[in-house]
Amino acid sequence: MKHSTVAELLSQVKKQNEIEIKGWVRTFRANRFIALNDGSTINNIQCVIDFENTDESILKRITTGAAIHIKGILVESLGKGQTVEIQVVSINILGDSNPDEYPIQPKKHTFEFLRENAHLRTRTNTFSAVMRLRSTLSFAIHKYFNENGFYYMHTPIITGSDAEGAGEMFRVSLLDAKNPPLNDNGKVDYTQDFFGKETNLTVSGQLEAETYAMSLGKVYTFSPTFRAENSNTSRHLSEFWMIEPEVAFMDLEGNMDLAEDFLKYVLKYALKNNKEDLAFLEQRLIQEDKTKPQAERNEMTLTEKLRFVIDNNFKRVSYTEAIDILRNCKPNKKKKFKYIIKEWGADLQSEHERFLVEKHFECPVILFDYPANIKAFYMRLNEDGKTVRAMDILFPAIGEIVGGAQREERLDVLKEKMAALDISEEELWWYLDLRKYGTAVHSGFGLGFERLVMFATGMSNIRDVIPYPRTPQNAEF
Ligand code: 4AD
Ligand code: MG
């Protein structure tokens, strides 16, 4: 007989003979009550043992973390907190867990401690809830694009071009690091390397996605991306997953409409499908808030925050308008910001983005038409000659969650821009070809997947929403 999952059994109401279940012991009380979890739901199922008829040697081995196989009868529960429970008929220990050594004891652990035990941390309610939500959101993303006529494209992880400019790159090389071959100029001779040229891990699949959008129309990537910046913040990873749709014949406004519709869809999907995980995470935040000073507490519960994004129109504001607001706002005048906004052209920091979203507009914000010189070379230049058709979406608690643009489709303008930034035409010949053969208006954006998971789960450190975070000085597991 195939064994059931905890989720399946908890959804039953009728008595059922001869059920089987396998899972890990969360707690074992009074030599009688096992709380068993198998990952299928945040809830445990209670298994009641007839301890007088169970071997002492078996009872001793029912410890937190042990894997067990139970055969029994599903009955209505008289205890509080569950509708059904299992009367154990037989119990088989599949894998012991030494209680003196097992790190995940049934008590509160700090997130720092759990990060050091990332291989076991999904055995806690918080991390299992976060990772189930991560899985649901991934699925919702594919579902959205599939329902809307997009093709899923796999962009390369190893790239031969470093012109994207989105960030520092990790080199991929088989040359002897201690004694690399040199060319006549005394520089490392990458023609002798594996690919015959310098290669790196990609920072974004966008440029390749653009090539496919210009033939398949609507495409998206959902891939790992890598950035070698030494930024140790709660919102940056060295390896993160990015979703990048790219659409032919779509301008910046269409891009904003798409991003807004897409974000609302995936959050709505999570709300509908992971109710119990979200309820648990919401309670966790409420408890956490009680330990904080009033000013740092969340004004909204987790569900309210999600509903707030789903139910409200995102406010669309030009960069120029935003700079005016920021220049004249209280924290800027009173020098409360770390970076004071002095003039048009300033790059926005997360503190400014969060002020706009959380204090000024009090809703998600789409900022557009940024100064050309703080944005990437491929963004379409506006008529004013100084701003580009860029857009960033800003979320409460997160700041920038999406970055995108309408792309420069005019060959001459693109070439001028590349020349000014010293980007080699030779290297990006294929990207320029798109502008030579059937060029057209097109746009896209990149959503940082972990920032979305942070928002949906209320977790405040990006290291806690990806199974094995890669950050400077850290690549354990
Ligand atoms: O704004 P970014 O750098 O945009 C691009 O890479 C474009 N090529 C996207 C496109 O138009 N197709 O990155 C996009 C998003 C950011 O808004 C942020 O959410 C996330 O990726 N992101 C990071 N997430 C975690 N760790 C990092 N180091 C991140 N850098 C960017
Ligand atoms: Mg960006």
Domains in the chain, CATH or no CATH each: 6-102 (2.40.50.140), 123-168+203-314+363-464 (3.30.930.10)
Which of 221, 242, 258, 461, when mutated, tests ligand 1's pocket best, judged by the most ligand atoms within 8 Å of its CB?
Answer: 242
Planar angle of CA 272, 282, 463, nearest 5 degrees: 95
Q: CB under 8 Å to 172, separation ≥6 — which residues? A: 158, 194, 195, 199, 200, 201
421 alpha carbon to ligand 2 midpoint, in Å? 18
pLDDT value of residue 1: 56
Residue pair 246/213 in contact (Cβ under 8 Å)? The answer is: yes
pTM for the whole structure = 0.97
90 alpha carbon to ligand 2 midpoint, in Å? 57
Ligand with minimal distance to 399 CA: 1
Instruction: Locate all alpha helices (DSSP H) within 38-124, ordered by sequence.
Output: 56-61, 111-116
Q: What is the pLDDT of residues 46-59, one digit of tens each?
A: 999 998 889 999 99
pLDDT value of residue 335: 95
Q: What is the pLDDT of residues 231-283, one digit of tens each?
A: 889 999 999 999 999 999 999 999 999 999 999 999 999 999 999 999 999 99
Q: How many CB atoms lie within 10 A of CB 176?
A: 8
- Residue that is written with structure tokens 């052209």 in the block: 345
| CA 104/CA 113 separation, integer angstroms | 10
| CA 74/CA 45 separation, integer angstroms | 10
Q: Which amino acid residue places its CA nearest to atom 31 of ligand 1?
A: 448
Give me the mean pLDDT over the 164-183 stretch.
90
Q: Please, which residues bridge with residue 188 across strands?
A: 182
Which of 212, 263, 451, 453, when mutated, tests ligand 1's pocket best, judged by the most ligand atoms within 8 Å of its CB?
Answer: 451
204 alpha carbon to ligand 1 midpoint, in Å? 8
Ligand 1 contacts (CB < 6 A) are 166, 204, 206, 227, 236-237, 240, 242, 244, 400-405, 444-446, 448, 450-451
Q: Is the pLDDT of residue 164 over 80?
A: no
Protein residues placing their CB within 5 Å of the ion ligand 2:
403
> Which tokens is 378 given?
């491929």
Q: Which amino acid residue places its CA nearest to atom 21 of ligand 1?
A: 448
User: What percent of the chain clears pLDDT 90, i.e. is strictly above it?
Assistant: 91
Q: Is the pLDDT of residue 444 over 70?
A: yes
Q: Is the pLDDT of residue 353 over 60?
A: yes
Ligand with minimal distance to 347 CA: 2
Ligand with minimal distance to 244 CA: 1
42 alpha carbon to ligand 2 midpoint, in Å? 35
pLDDT value of residue 163: 66
List of long-range contacts for 255-261, beta carbons under 8 Å, 24+ apart: 255/391, 255/404, 255/405, 255/406, 255/443, 255/444, 255/445, 256/314, 256/316, 256/366, 256/368, 256/391, 258/445, 259/366, 259/391, 259/393, 259/402, 259/404, 259/445, 259/447, 260/313, 260/314, 260/366, 260/393
Q: Which amino acid residue places its CA nearest to atom 18 of ligand 1?
A: 448
Give me the mean pLDDT over the 343-365 stretch.
94
| CA 465/CA 457 separation, integer angstroms | 8
> Which tokens is 328 given?
């004249």
Give me the mean pLDDT over the 302-315 stretch.
95
Nearest to 459 by CA among 239, 316, 277, 251: 277
pLDDT value of residue 80: 80
Among 119-123, 160-164, 303-307, 438-442, the least confident range: 160-164
Q: Which amino acid residue places its CA nearest to atom 30 of ligand 1?
A: 236
Q: CB under 8 Å to 75, separation ≥6 — which residues? A: 15, 84, 85, 86, 87
Among 71-80, 207-216, 389-398, the least confident range: 71-80
Mean pLDDT of the chain: 95
Give me the mean pLDDT over the 34-56 stretch.
95
93 alpha carbon to ligand 2 midpoint, in Å? 51
393 alpha carbon to ligand 2 midpoint, in Å? 9
